[in-house]
Chain A
Amino acid sequence: MKRFIPVSLVILALLLTASVVWASGSKETTPEPAGQKVTVTYWHTMSDPEAAQLNKVISAFEEENPNITIKPTKFAYDDFKTAILTAVAGGDVPDTARIDIIWVPEFADKGWLLRLDGNMAGFETLINRTFPGPRATARWKEHYYGLPQNTNTQVLLWNKERFDQAGIDGPPATIQEFAADARKLSNPGKEQYGYALGGTYFWAPAPIFYAMGGRIVSPDLTTADGYINGPESVRAFTLLTQLYKDGAISPNLLGGGIGTSDGHASGKYAMIIDGPWMVDIYADTYPDFNVHFAMIPKGPDGNTSSVVGGEDAVIFDGSTHKEAAKKWLAYLLSSDAQKTMAQVGVIPTLSELRGDPALPDYFDVFMQQLQTARARVAHPRWSDMDGAINNAFQRMLRGDQSPQAALDQAAKEIDKLLAE
């Protein structure tokens, strides 16, 4: 009988485990009754000013749809993915959410998101009004699982003071000029550099990579061989590696140096490539600094390009209010809602709003860049692919491998991820 309590504890543990597994596995969704008041939950990671502006959007929507109440919940970005995972595991998902674009293929592949094409009235019209780059982020296996709610891209920031001091007229128009300017503006002895990247994660070299014609995988997402290690991609990374070796790029990109925002405003980094949030960041931290934007310099084929970021609005498959949720999503993509959010620095995804006087002035260069900006690989294993490219970039910067060899290795690693 001494064994009674320990044994019963183990049995109790097993029973509890079994019941938890059983409970989370069997969820039934009851259909929503028509004509009744419905609450649609909406999870997001908006900043405080954005969340305050969101309330205006919600009021306008609720006026048009008196039977629907929107209940927003704000999360910190670092906690958001875990919060969603917990909701999914516990069977208590929100109806809608605004999630990072790179999570859409991941969640869609696991069956957590509602397929929207063919399932939502007016979807095709809506999605075709968005910029092509953001549109591609919501697509997985020939179907769409979200609507691009807001987007952003990266453009060139150039420090006019440093350019004037060096006698350079204006920002570089081509990649060739960019490389020459970066070299001219560098003085490693005085810890001044012509160009700095935030790190070696793909988002940092992506604009130059895409402007130079680089690609990561084949359009049908079956192979990376010949793409990430193809001639254009290798050429782009070789240029960056060479600039680094020649002292034109700050060593901070290897890890733990002076960040790009501080370096750029203090004159250490003459050029950086970053997003629209820099306007608010500099207004806060370096109010006397005048930030200058320019399009990403054109690559050898005469075209500019950049990388797309942002968030997509999605509906969870476990939602019990799918019809109301669809109305909410459609409203978020209306030009009224998009223009309202634009007032707090959120770039709209509707291409027709380009040049609209209601939008802040500095949006112009970003929305122009968005016409040619590309989405990264819309695949569930993207973050591991990012890791492969990140590590390859590190290896070539440290001289462990040539850019071709490093990217060949990355291609092998990415092919493995595509096959899984």
Chain B
Amino acid sequence: MAGTLIHGSRRRKIATALPFLAPGIILYVLFVAAPIVYSFAMSFFDWNLSNPFQSTWLGLANYRKALNDEVFRRAIVNTVAYSAVTVPSQIALGLGAALLLNHKVRGQPFFRVVYYLPVITNWVIVGVLFKYAFNGQAGLVNFLLRDVLHLIGSNVLWLGDPVLALVPVFLVEIWKGVGWCAVIYLAALQGVPANLMEAATVDGAGPVRRFFSVTLPMLGATTLFLVVVRTIGTLNGYVSNVVITNGGQPMDQTHFVLTLMYKVAFGSLQFGYGAAISYFLTVFIAIVSFVEMRVLQDRGSSI
């Protein structure tokens, strides 16, 4: 192990670098590192907001309470389902969109903008619009399904059903995510060497074969990146759920882990319990991300 002395030149380098690093380090510690440590500590107490030192030590009781809480378990199921469904969907559809947007056609810039527009819309506004569209008695979706396409006989009360109420939440995520994934894939597609494609065509490969044998493997690293980032993003889902389901309605069955955490901490003032819930999510996300990276890295040969 190297000695603990920093020799002259290295010390000078650190001394020069430190003032430049300091603002970033301070902001990071203040707004990221300290809250992480602080909330971890909170999770072991019945936290007293006005006098933290008078908080009651609970040990692992908050964590045990979460595991025994039916509402929390349902929230986990909802959140995992949300991730499992929307991540592959937006990545697959995003790839499809990127392939289309890669063709040189008239209006290509226009279409690229249109596909990306959902990404920059406001979650709350879009959530409210989807909520109106899925209104059980006066919504656009029921109108189309019942009165136009005659696919259903009577109105479906979307937001009154513990499972169906999440359909608009899932759709908002996919709708918003496709454009983002498409743009990233579009950039990656530019990196697929033209000579490889030509060689494949010369060898007699049709478009489908070319896609699966040349394009897709070259997109391996991008796909891994999108899977990990979108998984983390969707497991942290909050805004559209709260806007559309009104905070877990009906019957607290439509919560995501973060919406439950917010309700418990800022609604019922149980900050320690809320912190414990958030740490369950943290550990879960860390494990899932790690597993994804291992599995997908082993598969992708070109990474």
Contact = CB atoms under 8 A, between A and B. Distances in A.
A381 B29 contact: no
A9 B158 contact: no
Contact of A110 (B50, B135, B157, B249): B50
Interface string B160-179: 11000100000000000000
Contacts of B30: 16
A419 B206 CA distance: 72
Nearest to A392: B251
Given A1-B4, A17-B34, A258 B137 contact: yes
A255 B249 contact: yes
B168 to A, nearest CB: 9
Contact-size category for B: 35 or more
B110 interface: no
Interface residues of A, number: 42
Nearest to B246: A255
A394 B161 CA distance: 11
Interface in A318-344: 318
A24, A250, A381 interface centre (most CB from chain B within 10 Å): A24
A251 B267 CA distance: 28
B119 to A, nearest CB: 26
Nearest to B135: A256
B134 A256 contact: yes
A17 B2 CA distance: 32
Contacts of A12: 29, 33
B16 to A, nearest CB: 14
B269 A394 contact: no
Contacts of B160: 251, 254-257
A82 interface: yes
Interface string A38-60: 00000000000000000000000
A13 interface: yes
A110 B28 CA distance: 32
Nearest to A400: B251
Interface stretch (A139-147, A171-179, A237-245, A383-391): A383-391
Interface in B238-274: 246, 249-252, 266-269
B251 A395 contact: yes
14 contacts: A2-B2, A9-B28, A9-B33, A13-B29, A13-B36, A17-B37, A25-B53, A255-B159, A256-B134, A256-B139, A256-B158, A256-B160, A318-B50, A391-B251
Interface of A: 1-2, 9-10, 12-14, 16-17, 20-21, 24-25, 81-82, 85, 88-89, 91, 106, 110-112, 191, 200, 250-252, 254-258, 318, 381, 383-384, 387, 390-391, 394-395
Interface of B: 2, 4, 6, 10, 25, 28-30, 33-34, 36-38, 41, 48-53, 131, 134-139, 157-161, 165, 246, 249-252, 266-269
Per CB-CB distance, the 7 closest pairs between chain A and chain B, nearest first, are A256-B159, A254-B160, A255-B160, A13-B33, A257-B137, A255-B159, A258-B137
Given A9-B33, A25-B53, A387-B252, 15 more contacts: A1-B6, A13-B29, A14-B37, A88-B49, A112-B50, A251-B157, A255-B165, A255-B249, A256-B139, A256-B159, A257-B136, A257-B160, A258-B138, A391-B252, A395-B251
